[in-house]
Amino acid sequence: IFSRIDNEETNQTSSQPNTKKNGIDFQNALRSLVSRICIDHPYHGIVQLISLSNGNKVGGGVSGRQADTYLENIGQSKVDAAKSILHDIRHDGPSYVSSLIDSYSVLVDSYIELAMVPTEEFRSGGKLRIK
Banded model confidence at residue 78, pLDDT cuts 50, 70, 90:
confident
Tell me the pLDDT band of 125, cut-offs 50, 70 and 90: low
DSSP state for residue 48 in the 8-state scheme: H
pTM flag (> 0.75):
no
CA 84, CA 66: separation in Å to the nearest integer?
23
Helix boundaries (H) for the chain: 2-15, 19-40, 42-53, 65-74, 76-92, 95-115
Q: What is the pLDDT of residues 27-66, one digit of tens each?
A: 899 999 999 999 999 999 999 999 888 877 766 554 556 6
Question: Which range is least confidently modeled, 6-20, 50-64, 81-95?
Answer: 6-20
Q: Judge contact between 106 and 99, C-beta under 8 A.
A: no
CB-based contact 101:86 (threshold 8 Å) = yes
Q: What does the pLDDT read at residue 119?
A: 73
Nearest-angstrom CA–CA distance, 106 and 60: 20
